[in-house]
Amino acid sequence: SIAWSKPHTGIGSDGLVLIGSSDIADFSMHIYNADGSEAMMCGNASRCIGKYVYEAGLTQKNKVTLETLSGIKELQLKIECEEVTEVTVDMGKPAVGEIALEVEAGGEIYTGTVISMGNPHLVIFVDEMDQVDLASVGPLLECLPLFPDRTNVEFVQVLKPDEVRMRVWERGSGITQACGTGACATAVAAFLTGRAGRESIIIMDGGSLNIRWDIATRHVLMTGEATKVFDGKIELID
């Protein structure tokens, strides 16, 4: 994963996703971060998997189940002319920790909301995103002693009702263009702190996701596009 993720000498990615068989779901997923550590779950990777398995002819279903280290996820595929244009992932129930946790990093005090989407997140709302030096403060917050297994960190600015801007420092990968579980955690935190309703748009550097926290099931539903970039081959060396 480390070698393949390198942008100049490898494929260039935030991590490596492996699709396999499963005894309890249609497929299984393992995802490894750019630093080689294994992640519990990745929402964006799940959407990509849904598009891949259908368009590669590995399934003809428009509802696919996926085994992950944080449980079985259900993918609903929107199909137009045999192409998957959109995927909705049932991300399950969030686990809510402290809603107003004060932490210190780099001489600054931040107030964050702790959410788990099968992986840990610290969501911090700010007035101006441009004032956040994510490259400096991200690794400090990721490795706070409060989080022995480290944490993902989201900085969020409310743009208007039910629409927020989010930037993410991902545990094990650093600054990334988008994070599906992070978008879900952000939407949950926005609702819990009175900044948004149960459905909101999360705008990230890599695009936008629609997140709905269903009132009946309390499951978080993540909807977004998945786009094929290229095919290729890579040599495996022992």
Active site residues: 42, 179
Q: How far apart are the first and last CA of the chain?
A: 14
- Tokens read off for 124: 């911090």
Distance, CA of 216 to chain centre: 23
Beta pairing, strands 63-68 & 83-90: unpaired
- For 47-205, where are the E strands, in sequence order? 63-68, 71-80, 83-90, 95-96, 101-105, 108-116, 120-125, 152-160, 163-170, 174-176, 199-204
- Tokens read off for 68: 């992950």
What pairs with residue 83 in β-bridges? 80
CA–CA separation, 184 and 92 (whole Å) = 10
CA–CA separation, 140 and 236 (whole Å) = 35
What pairs with residue 157 in β-bridges? 165
CB-side neighbour CA atoms (13 Å) of 120: 17
DSSP class of residue 212 equals E
